Amino acid sequence: MFVDKNMHKIEDTLILVKKVHALNHWMEVVLRSVLILLGLFFITKLLGKKQLSKLSFFEYIVGITIGDIAGTISMDVDLQASHGVVAILVWASFLIFVSNVSLKSISFRKAVEGTTTILIKEGKILEENVKKEKYTVDELMEQLRKKDIFYVEDVAFAMLETNGELSVLLKKEKQNVTREDLLIKGEATRLPQTIIMDGNIMKEAVHELGYSVAWVKEQLKKKGAEVDKVFLGQADSTGHLYLDYYEDEKKTESK
């Protein structure tokens, strides 16, 4: 009888230990999850609001990897949390480094994030560019239909952005009528170009508009602007030039 009582006490003790152990696991999972969530929130704040919009290819890969690491650390209590935190910090630091370098270097930004690709020009599908971007005609038409465009011939330009978004500019005659259209005779639609970026003249874009670097410098001189002080400059085929300066108080737009 005495032995049976001791056995029951031992069994009850083991059951209690298992329950406490299971509870500790649950508490550790909750604690890990909360701490990781707070850490990811802090990292997201460091990366800026850009991460809340469309991600670039590189940012997409890093985001998936960090999410996978965070999920694994939260659930697997057998793994050392410190190792996972170090891994997340390494990936996040690399993303921050790439983002900062991309802001300062156009060539690096193009290498990491890629460049826009024109898929449709003046109602004609550029088959080579479509194949290059691994797009099918069905996928292209689907993207157009999402923008309420059902005829390719209505499109002046359709460009695949670096984040995978398709930007479309309709031909002038297919655009909604504006007050300006009623006052000024419409001209053939030509794609506006970014001719100055981060204080550098984009020669290829300038030539695409039919202008020269000398013309750009002359326009800058008329506005009393220096190219290295310009953050962004855009122009169109009518000669309209928009300049955005590094210093906010100098920002202006050509009339």
Is the CB of residue 252 less than 8 Å from the CB of residue 243?
Answer: yes
pLDDT band at 168 (very low <50, low <70, confident <90, very high): very high
- Provide the pLDDT for residue 255: 38
pLDDT over 50 (residue 2)? no
- What is the spatial distance between Cα 88 and Cα 32, in angstroms, rounded to a whole number? 14
Give me the mean pLDDT over the 245-250 stretch: 60
Instruction: Work out the mean pLDDT of the chain and round it to a whole number.
Output: 77
Residue 158: which H helix or E strand, with range? strand 155-160
What pTM was computed for the model? 0.53
pLDDT band at 102 (very low <50, low <70, confident <90, very high): confident
Give me the mean pLDDT over the 56-61 stretch: 74
Q: Give the percent of the chain with pLDDT over 70.
A: 76
Half-sphere CA count of 115, side-chain side, radius 13 A: 10
- Provide the pLDDT for residue 21: 55
pLDDT over 60 (residue 10)? no
- Provide the pLDDT for residue 78: 75
Measured between alpha carbons, how far apart are the two ends of the chain, in Å?
102
pLDDT over 80 (residue 251)? no
Torsion 161-245-204-114 (CA) sign: negative
pLDDT band at 140 (very low <50, low <70, confident <90, very high): confident
pLDDT over 80 (residue 47)? no
Give me the mean pLDDT over the 138-144 stretch: 86
Give me the mean pLDDT over the 168-177 stretch: 80
Is the CB of residue 91 less than 8 Å from the CB of residue 69?
Answer: yes
